[in-house]
């Protein structure tokens, strides 16, 4: 559905009013908030990562265990895009809303850490992060420094633990893996507490994260959905805007924050 400029402006105004009036606003973000930063998403027709690879062959726990070399051959280009990416205006808009006490938390499916780099403080990375790795031998967690990434992207061998020499696994959640329990519980608590949920750049197709908006709705929360494509929950949203997050979200944040000055 193509909106006229006037229709889109009306929805933007309504979204800003909902955020301003909310007692407990939480954001749920997916890959669509980071694609403007140069990070490919997984499911877009023709350009998504899973149009080129089978996720179970390269990004499952079984694939990592039995074919780690294949896993690292696949993930190196992806990690390079994460390493080189910078936060975009949508990330900064959420950080501004949090600083202005209009956003309580960000729950993200993304592993790129761009929310944190943009200045958001309360971020739940329910699918993990590429910035740490865990040794499969001694179970030490390794912080991935710039030096580590430079060496990792240049070498062909699998990364090894500097303490015991065993294989390192990035702390990202693969297929067949459970979400980090503590982070997931905390994210669900935010959903149970919110009276307004912003769904930003997510197709809402990946479980169990896709169930979070339904949980919020079942408890009486209102939902705003901003995305480039349709989702199956658009008809339940108080506001649904289809468009570019890096353009729309900063405008909404400006309206919320400027109206208080």
Name the residues annotated as catalytic: 127
Residue 3 backbone dihedrals phi, psi, to 5 degrees? -95, 145
Q: How many residues comprise the chain?
A: 261
Scan for tokens 């559905």, then name that residue: 1
Alpha-carbon torsion (168, 171, 173, 176), positive or negative: positive
Structure tokens at 15: 């979204």
- Return the C-alpha torsion angle 68, 73, 75, 79, nearest 10: 130
Residues 6+ apart with CB under 8 A from 159: 72, 133, 148, 152, 167, 168
Q: Give the SS3 label for residue 39.
A: coil
Q: What angle do CA 43, 123, 223 make, to 5 degrees?
A: 65
- Distance, CA of 8 to CA of 88 (rounded, Å): 21
* C-beta separation of 88 from 37 below 8 A: yes
Residue 58 backbone dihedrals phi, psi, to 5 degrees? -125, -25
Scan for tokens 């850490």, then name that residue: 113
């Amino acid at each position: 559905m193509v909106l006229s400029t006037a229709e889109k402006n009306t929805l933007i105004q309504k979204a800003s009013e909902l955020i301003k009036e909310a007692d407990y606003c939480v954001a749920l973000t997916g890959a669509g908030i980071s694609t403007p930063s140069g990070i490919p998403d997984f499911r877009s027709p023709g350009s998504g990562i899973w149009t080129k690879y089978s996720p179970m062959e390269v990004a499952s726990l079984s694939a990592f265990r039995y074919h780690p070399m294949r896993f690292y051959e696949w993930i190196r280009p992806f990690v390079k895009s994460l390493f080189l990416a910078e936060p975009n205006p949508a990330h900064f808009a959420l950080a501004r809303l949090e600083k202005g006490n209009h956003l309580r938390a960000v729950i993200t499916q993304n592993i790129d850490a761009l929310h944190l780099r943009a200045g958001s403080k309360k971020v739940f990375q329910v699918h993990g992060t590429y910035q740490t790795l865990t040794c499969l031998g001694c179970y030490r967690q390794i912080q991935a420094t710039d030096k580590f990434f430079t060496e990792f992207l240049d070498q062909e061998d699998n990364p090894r633990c500097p303490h015991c020499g065993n294989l390192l696994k990035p702390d990202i959640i693969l297929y067949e893996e459970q979400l980090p329990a503590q982070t997931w519980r905390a994210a669900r608590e935010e959903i149970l507490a919110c009276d307004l949920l912003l769904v930003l750049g997510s197709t809402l197709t990946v479980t169990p994260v896709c169930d979070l908006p339904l949980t919020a709705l079942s408890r009486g929360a209102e939902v705003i959905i901003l995305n480039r494509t349709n989702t199956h929950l658009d008809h339940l949203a108080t506001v649904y805007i289809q468009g570019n997050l890096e353009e729309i979200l900063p405008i909404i944040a400006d309206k919320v924050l400027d109206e208080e000055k």
